Amino acid sequence: MNHTIADAGSAPAIQLLTRNAELTTPLRALLLAQGFMLETFETSDRLLGADPSSPALLLVDLDALSDADTLGALGTQAQQCDGQAIPLVCLGSGSDIRSRLAAMRAGAKAYLQMPMELEELTDRLLDLAGTQAASPDRVLVVDDQPVAALFAARVLESAGMLAERVGDALAVLDALDAFVPDLVLMDLHMPGASGIELTRIIREQDRFADLPIVFLSAELDAEQQMAALRVGGDDFLAKPVAPDHLVACVKQRLTRARERARRQDGPDAVDPMTGLASLGRLLGRLGQLIGRGGTEARRRALVVLDLHGDEGALMRLAVAVAESCGASDLAARVGERSLAVLMRREDAASLARACDHLAEELSRAGFAPAPGLAVGIGWCTLANSGGDAVTLMSRAGKAARSARKAGDGLTIGYGCDPVPARTSDQDAVSTAILSERLQLLFEPMVSLTPAPSARYEVSPRLATPDGELLPPVAFMPIAQRSGLAERLDAWLLATGLDAIVACRDAGQPAQLFLYQSLVGAGRDDWVGQVRDEINRRDLFRLRPVIQFQVEEAAADPDLAADRVSRLARLGIPVCLNGVDAGDASERVLASVPATFARLARAIGQSLDPEPLAELVQRLRERRLAVIAGGVDAPETIARLCRAGVDLLQGPFVQPPSAVMDYDFSGVDER
């Protein structure tokens, strides 16, 4: 039956295909309050045969479809409705990737996973229906060539956008403040300042951290293009560019920016108790900044405030911190009784003074060193982060706890002040492994050609008694000397496979690279144990990649060859880590039938271009996919790309994170 609100007048309509009456009644009321009427259809035939009109949105509940082909027909109808494309949005009750693929192939603008709070669903539908159309997107065109700037502006204006032109590179910051653009279209070569230099300056300011910047230039050098992207550019278009391609690219980047802003400003971005930013929002920002490295990493610090007090004290502390912070500082709640502030100052000395000033302000607010209200303030620069946000948080937190225990009201900087020595002796590491005080971080691996799935290397961290997280290089050798390598291997395998299951169940399958030691793999039943762990989780189609160190394989190449061959028969690929141009690597590669080879970090960063390209070529002749890690600068990326590597990873791609949230789609589109 077709239901229509009779008194909705000329309100724009959203057409909904569903059999869920519990959804339609409250959704109709919420939409009508926002000026939209809701037309509902219980069968796809009725919707396909409806009186042709131009609804603001076509909403399809996938559970109401009779067959998969019907969705394609609805997508076609949406594209041809009155000669104007109508947004198609799908509602799915699960995270099955097949449903998402069907929606994408039908041309759906969005896939919304149900159940969802009705208020949130309404907001999403209003946004997708184009309720912001009265406010056109604003694009700042930065180009010293008047004709080129005018051409780009006219093309964008013909697509309904508002464009402002700037011909003087040194006037860009003033234009940003005056025009407040939603996107910047940036030329690369200009007198006074290059587009790369301007982008660096823009990205240094947190208020422009998420402003999309698209480069438009006649530059054909791949290294220059890569440098433009790595300093913060979102895309690179080569002049001359076709008008439809320019508009499509700009619209795509604007859509992504709005979606990112929606997530950052949504309920998950704010801590409900303190009103400060959430831990997830802070970690995301830290990940962006750590990946850029350079001078900025020495100008920024994470300041952690460790409170000895109750919930009421935490609330008062949050208010005091918010009032004491600068406009560009980001304050967040990061623990049950701890807050953090991301600061940017001119140098390390300025950061130290800012922390001392914060301590003075808190003291005046009643948080002086005293029983019940003691607050410890510790900080760590991003340059001392250890390469990821999680380790940075642990180091700043360790300094804060040390400051609180000292009780003298002084702040402590990790690596700058006498923080108590890290506990890394054999007994402490053994205890941590036996009690499984471990956690996983995930580092994305970007393929330079379209890849079948997301790929991450899994890296464990070990928590010391004082709360610092140690990287593998600090504790794995101790684990082997203590006879705990097998215990660590078993935990890493089981936890890594559980992570693959979680990705699969969330509809976001990923291929994970899991390290295993050849000490543990030496057991006769080891391959059988790996097989059983995979089978128990029903991961027949999502097998992990097992990683071995070349150094370990060189010590016993026969064992390594046997284990890799047996894993291959089970369809489990192997990656050899630490490959270089030496004889040991050559002997291992000649006898071990691996699938991937990860270059030793020093090789990728320091080897001259010609021998680097020769090494990569030899590896590819063995049908190995070549991985380069530790990528920390645009010049490193350029030389690795020219050498022919297949996958890149490192801080400049994205530092290791506790969540797998890298956007692989943007890479594959280039």
How many CA atoms are closer than 13 Å to the CA of 69, on its beta-carbon side?
1
Please report, for the chain, how many H helices and E strands are present, in that order. 27, 25
Helix axes 222-230, 195-203, angle to 10 degrees: 20
Give yes or no for residue 265 having a pLDDT over 60: no
If pLDDT is split at 50, 70 and 90, which confidence band does 79 have? Answer: low
The pLDDT of residue 4 is 37
Are 437 and 370 in a shared domain?
Answer: no
What is the C-alpha to C-alpha distance for residues 582 and 181, in angstroms, rounded to an integer?
53
Judged against a pLDDT cut of 50, whether residue 421 lies above it is answered with: no
Average pLDDT over residues 490-509: 92
Domain end (from 128, 150, 166) = 128
Crossing angle of helices 472-481/485-505, nearest 10°? 130
Share above pLDDT 70 across residues of the chain, in percent, rounded to a whole number: 87
* Single residue among 68, 96, 128 that ends a domain in this structure: 128
pLDDT tens digits along 196-253: 889 888 887 777 877 899 998 887 776 777 777 777 788 888 888 888 889 988 988 8
Beta bridge partners of 463: 469
What is the rounded average pLDDT of the residues 160-178? 89
Q: How much is the pLDDT for 133? A: 43
Is residue 2 one of the residues assigned to a domain?
no
Whether residue 278 is contained in a domain is answered as yes
* Torsion region of 293: left, alpha or beta (phi above 0 gives left; psi -120 to 50 gives alpha): left
Same domain, 208 and 283: no
Question: Residue 616: which residues within 8 A CB-CB, separation 6 or more?
Answer: 599, 626, 643, 644, 645
Task: Determine which helix (DSSP H) or strand (DSSP E) holds 246, and give its type and residue range.
Answer: helix 243-265
Residue 277: HSE in the Cβ half-sphere, 13 Å Cα cutoff: 18
HSE of 536, CA atoms in CB hemisphere, 13 A = 10
**CATH at residue 189:** 3.40.50.2300
In a domain, 99, yes or no: yes
| 384 and 432 belong to one structural domain | no
Same domain, 557 and 652: yes
What pLDDT, on a 0 to 100 scale, did the predictor assign at position 80?
57
Task: State the pLDDT at residue 322.
Answer: 87
Q: Is 268's pLDDT higher than 80?
A: no
pLDDT for the residue 68 = 67
pLDDT digits (tens, 9 = 90+) for 86-124: 788 888 876 666 777 777 777 787 888 787 777 778 877
Any domain includes 644: yes
Of 591, 527, 585, the C-alpha closest to 558 is 591
Burial label, 336 (beta-carbon count in 10 A; 0-12, 13-18, 19+): exposed
Strands 454-463, 438-444: parallel, antiparallel or unpaired by DSSP? Answer: antiparallel
- The pTM for the full model equals 0.61
Of 72, 105, 128, which residue constitutes the final position of a domain?
A: 128
In angstroms, the CA 199 to CA 601 distance is 29
Domain count for the chain, please give it.
Answer: 4
Among the ranges given (167-171, 368-372, 532-536, 543-547), the one the predictor scored with the smallest mean pLDDT:
368-372
Comparing 166-170, 447-451, 595-599, the range with the smallest average pLDDT is 447-451
The predicted structure's pLDDT at residue 266: 54
In a domain? residue 421: no
| 513: pLDDT strictly greater than 50 | yes
Same domain, 607 and 643: yes
Residue 474 and residue 335 share a domain: no
> If you average pLDDT over residues 541-557, what whole number do you get?
94
Which amino acid is it at 193? A
Average pLDDT over residues 259-288: 74
pLDDT of residue 569: 94
Residue 71 has what pLDDT? 82
When pLDDT is cut at 50, 70 and 90, the band that residue 502 belongs to is very high
Reply yes or no on whether the pLDDT at 533 is more than 50. Answer: yes
CATH number at residue 546: 3.20.20.450
| N residues, the chain | 670
Q: Residue 525 pLDDT > 90, yes or no? A: yes
CA angle 344, 278, 502 (to 5 degrees): 120
Summary mean pLDDT of the chain: 83
In this structure, the answer to whether residues 544 and 529 fall within a common structural domain is yes
DSSP 657: B
Same domain, 510 and 656: yes
pLDDT value at 420 more than 70:
no
Q: Is the pLDDT of residue 66 over 80?
A: no
| Shared-domain flag, residues 367 and 505 | no
Whether residue 5 is contained in a domain is answered as no
CATH number at residue 374: 3.30.70.270
Residue 337 belongs to some domain of the structure: yes
Q: What is the pLDDT of residue 666?
A: 45
pLDDT for position 99: 76
Place of tokens 């409250």: 26
Which residue in this structure is represented by tokens 């990940």?
Answer: 287
**Range scoring the smallest mean pLDDT among 60-64, 292-296, 303-307, 469-473:** 292-296
**Which of the residue ranges 68-82, 381-395, 552-566, 638-652 has the most confident prediction, judged by mean pLDDT?**
552-566
Tokens 């604007």 label which residue?
254
DSSP-based three-state secondary structure for 512 = strand
- pLDDT top residue among 529 and 5: 529
CB atoms within 10 A of CB 512: 22
Place of tokens 């309920």: 267
Give the residue-averaged pLDDT of 643-653. 85
Tell me if 419 is assigned to some domain: no
Q: What is the pLDDT of residues 619-633, one digit of tens each?
A: 999 999 999 988 766
pLDDT, position 457: 96
**Could you tell me the pLDDT band of residue 424, with boundaries at 50, 70 and 90?**
very low
630 φ/ψ sector (left φ>0, alpha ψ -120 to 50, else beta): left
Q: In this structure, are 111 and 89 located in the same domain?
A: yes
Domain of residue 66: give its range: 13-128
Confirm if 403 and 412 have CB atoms less than 8 A apart.
yes
* Higher per-residue pLDDT: 555 or 5: 555
Greatest mean pLDDT among 62-71, 393-402, 445-454 lies in 393-402
**What's the rounded Cα separation, in Å, for the pair 395 and 555?**
36
Same domain, 382 and 244: no
Residue 590 pLDDT: 94
- Asked if residue 305 has pLDDT above 90, the reply is yes
Q: Residue 304 — pLDDT band, cuts 50, 70, 90?
A: very high
What percent of the chain stands above pLDDT 90?
Answer: 29
- One domain, residues 450 and 433: yes
Pairing of strands 138-142, 183-186: parallel
Spatial CA neighbour of 618 closest among 643, 648, 637, 592:
643
